[in-house]
Amino acid sequence: MNTLNPNEVEKFQAMANEWWDPQGKFKPLHQLNPTRLEYITSKIASTYHRDVAEQLPFKGLRLLDIGCGGGLLSEPMATLGAEVLGADAAPNNIQVAQLHAQQTGLTIDYRHTLAEHLLEEGEQFDVILNMEVIEHVANPNLFLEACGRLLKPGGLMICSTINRNIKSYIVAIFGAERVMRWLPVGTHQWQQFIKPVELQGMVEQANLTLIEQQGFVFNLLNWRWSISAKNLSVNYVMSIKKPIDSIDKKDYSLVRE
Domain-located, residue 138: yes
What is the rounded CA–CA span in Å between residue 172 and residue 136? 14
Of the chain, the end-to-end C-alpha distance in Å amounts to: 8
Q: How many CA atoms lie within 13 A of 224 on its CB side?
A: 6
Q: How many CA atoms lie within 13 A of 126 on its CB side?
A: 15
Q: Which domain holds residue 40?
A: 6-241
Domain-located, residue 247: no
What is the rounded CA–CA span in Å between residue 128 and residue 63? 6
- What would the pLDDT profile of 128-137 be if each residue is shown by its tens digit? 999 999 999 9
pLDDT band at 251 (very low <50, low <70, confident <90, very high): very low
Binding site residues for S-adenosyl-L-methionine, as ranges?
36, 67, 88, 131
Binding site residues, as ranges?
36, 67, 88, 131
Q: How many other CB atoms are there within 10 angstroms of residue 239's CB atom?
A: 21
What is the rounded CA–CA span in Å between residue 23 and residue 110? 24
β-strand partners of 227: 216
Domain-located, residue 248: no
Domain-located, residue 184: yes
Helix or strand run (H / E) with residue 46: helix 27-48
CB 229 within 8 A of CB 239: no
Domain-located, residue 102: yes
What is the rounded CA–CA span in Å between residue 255 and residue 250? 11
- What would the pLDDT profile of 99-117 be if each residue is shown by its tens digit? 999 999 999 999 999 999 9
Higher pLDDT, 31 or 257: 31
φ, ψ of residue 13 to 5 degrees: the values are -55, -45
Based on the number of CB atoms within 10 Å of its own CB, is 120 exposed (0-12), middle (13-18) or buried (19 or more)? middle
Supply the Cα-derived Rg of the chain in whole angstroms.
17
Domain-located, residue 37: yes
**Lowest-pLDDT range of 64-73, 125-134, 229-238, 242-251:** 242-251
Number of domains forming the structure of the chain:
1
CB 52 within 8 A of CB 46: no
Domain-located, residue 136: yes
Q: How many CA atoms lie within 13 A of 68 on its CB side?
A: 36
Domain-located, residue 254: no
- What would the pLDDT profile of 191-224 be if each residue is shown by its tens digit? 899 999 999 999 999 999 999 999 999 887 888 9
- What would the pLDDT profile of 27-73 be if each residue is shown by its tens digit? 888 999 999 999 999 999 999 999 999 999 999 999 999 999 999 99
**Lowest-pLDDT range of 21-25, 78-82, 172-176, 204-208:** 172-176
What's the CATH number where 223 sits? Answer: 3.40.50.150
